């Protein structure tokens, strides 16, 4: 297998940007322990911790496996670590002192671990560096966009392959399994990471007919039945029938980077009700694409979509069934499926150049089904570029 190591210049730039932000926030150093942040700043996802001083070289401390970490990470300072209890000694040895203010990803670090770090750094103040890190990760480099474009290419092939796979009587989970097989042949990594507690993102949401209106624990317009109360979201065992919408929300992960997309299949003709609703979803997507520019208000764009859905006659079905609607139409995506920014109700943020978001207007009809579209796009000063390029026509079998 060809190595897909993160280029040294990429890591150097990320570290430099982080250090600039640490200085501005008056944080002496960041201790990075969350896996995707660790990968972002070091190039490895081995069991390790990364210590980044506001000034000076970062130190990668590896529990397991140090040989792989040294191959995968371009960072020059890599040291073995037996346990987190040894971090202060390594920091003291490397830098000659213990920083006064240490940043930690407090949005995801468990309380037990937070208290442990307080104990092993008794004279330091632990502060939150998660906001800094998430904001840095929001802006995508050319390298990152290239990984996402490849993921988009894989998705295009997989969705087209679905035309040959889908047949009446096939269960949702079986169709999802075959799609995942095709994706994995093309190096889809099979895992969509989420910055969250108690939520997993499944590659295959295959929702046929009334499954498309089943609400689940997921913060989305629809969730699906899943396979059991222990796995209560996504494709279930329902048999797919002709003349009903089959909504496939299939995220692809390539070299750690994710694109999210949704397309609609149908065996035979799709009833006009769903065709019209799908067309309305596409019109709302165009509204977001037109408005998604650096400096645009995320909350304002969202409210425009709500008003437009009402004008199109889909006030009740837009973004979920009445009483169970979600309050976002787009979410950031990259190494994780729920990055910032969100185009959502009350999001008092403004879009920035070179951010990637997944736009997903969807219509849900209670007890009947759902349709919609989703594309991952790159926002730039020069316009919006779609990174998911599969045909946007209804995929009729």
Does the pLDDT of residue 24 top 70, yes or no?
yes
Strand pairing class (395-396; 262-266): parallel
How large is the greatest C-alpha to C-alpha distance in the chain, in angstroms?
A: 71
pLDDT in tens, 69-98: 999 999 999 999 999 999 999 999 999 999
pLDDT in tens, 104-134: 999 999 999 999 999 999 999 999 999 999 9
Q: How far is CA 360 from CA 159, 281, 295, 322, 363, in A?
A: 17, 8, 21, 18, 10
Fold category of 139-396 in CATH: Creatine Amidinohydrolase (3.90.230)
Task: Give me 350's structure tokens.
Answer: 């403004």
Give CA–CA dist 144/150, Å, rounded.
Answer: 10
pLDDT in tens, 330-374: 999 999 999 999 999 999 999 999 999 999 999 999 999 999 999
**Preceding peptide of 237 cis, ω within 30°:** no
Q: How far is CA 68 from CA 5, 61, 81, 201, 334, in A?
A: 11, 13, 14, 27, 24
Residue 241: closest CA among 270, 267, 205, 207? 267
Q: Where are the alpha helices (DSSP H) in the chain?
A: 8-24, 35-42, 66-72, 87-95, 111-120, 130-138, 142-165, 172-185, 272-291, 298-311
* CA-derived radius of gyration, the chain: 22
Q: How confident is the model at residue 2 (pLDDT cuts 50, 70, 90)?
A: low
Per-residue confidence (pLDDT) for residue 1, from 0 to 100: 47
Give CA–CA dist 212/248, Å, rounded.
Answer: 10
Does the pLDDT of residue 278 top 50, yes or no?
yes
Residue 251: closest CA among 168, 172, 190? 190
For the chain, the average pLDDT equals 96
Q: What percent of the chain has pLDDT over 90?
A: 94
pLDDT in tens, 147-164: 999 999 999 999 999 999
Domain boundaries, the chain: 8-137, 139-396
Per-residue confidence (pLDDT) for residue 358, from 0 to 100: 98
Q: How far is CA 139 from CA 274, 302, 336, in A?
A: 36, 21, 13
39 vs 204: which has the higher pLDDT: 39
388: Cα separation from own chain's centroid: 14
Give CA–CA dist 221/371, Å, rounded.
Answer: 10
Residue 162: closest CA among 223, 246, 225, 241? 246
The domain 8-137 is placed in CATH, from the list 2.30.36.70, 3.90.1150.10, 3.40.50.300, 3.40.350.10, at 3.40.350.10
């Amino acid at each position: 297998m060809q190595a897909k190591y993160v280029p040294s210049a990429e890591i150097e730039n990320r570290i430099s940007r982080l250090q600039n932000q640490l200085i501005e926030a008056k944080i002496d150093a960041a201790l990075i322990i969350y896996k995707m942040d660790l990968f972002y700043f070091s190039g490895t996802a081995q069991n390790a911790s990364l210590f980044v001083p506001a000034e000076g070289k970062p130190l990668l401390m590896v529990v397991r496996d140090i040989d792989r970490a040294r191959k995968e990470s371009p960072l020059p300072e890599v040291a073995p670590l037996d346990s987190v209890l040894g971090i202060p000694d390594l920091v003291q040895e490397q830098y000659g002192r213990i920083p006064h203010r240490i940043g930690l990803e407090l949005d995801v670090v468990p309380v037990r671990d937070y208290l442990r770090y307080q104990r092993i750094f008794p004279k330091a103040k632990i502060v939150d560096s998660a906001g800094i890190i998430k904001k840095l990760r929001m802006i995508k480099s050319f390298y990152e966009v290239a990984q996402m474009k490849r993921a988009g290419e894989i998705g295009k092939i997989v969705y087209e392959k679905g035309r040959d796979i889908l047949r009446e009587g096939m269960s949702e989970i079986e169709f999802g399994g075959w799609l995942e097989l095709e994706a994995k042949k093309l190096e889809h990594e099979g895992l969509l990471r989420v910055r969250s507690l108690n939520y997993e993102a499944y590659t295959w949401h295959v929702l046929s007919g009334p499954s498309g209106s089943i609400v689940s624990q997921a913060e989305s317009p629809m969730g699906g039945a899943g396979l059991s109360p222990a796995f209560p979201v996504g494709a279930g065992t329902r048999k797919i029938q002709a003349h009903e919408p089959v909504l496939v929300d299939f995220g692809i992960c390539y070299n750690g980077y994710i694109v999210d997309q949704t397309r609609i299949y149908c065996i035979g003709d799709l009833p006009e009700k769903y065709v019209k609703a799908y067309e309305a979803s596409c019109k709302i997507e165009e509204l977001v694409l037109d408005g998604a520019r650096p400096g645009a208000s995320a909350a304002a764009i969202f409210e425009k979509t709500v008003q437009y859905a009402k004008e199109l006659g889909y006030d009740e079905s837009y973004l979920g069934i009445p009483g169970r609607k979600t309050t976002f139409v787009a979410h950031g995506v990259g190494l994780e499926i729920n990055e910032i920014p969100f185009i959502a109700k009350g999001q008092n943020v403004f879009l920035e150049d070179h951010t990637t978001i997944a736009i997903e207007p969807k219509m849900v009809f209670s007890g009947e089904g759902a349709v919609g579209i989703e594309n991952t796009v790159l926002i730039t000063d020069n316009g919006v570029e779609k990174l998911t390029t599969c045909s946007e026509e209804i995929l009729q079998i």
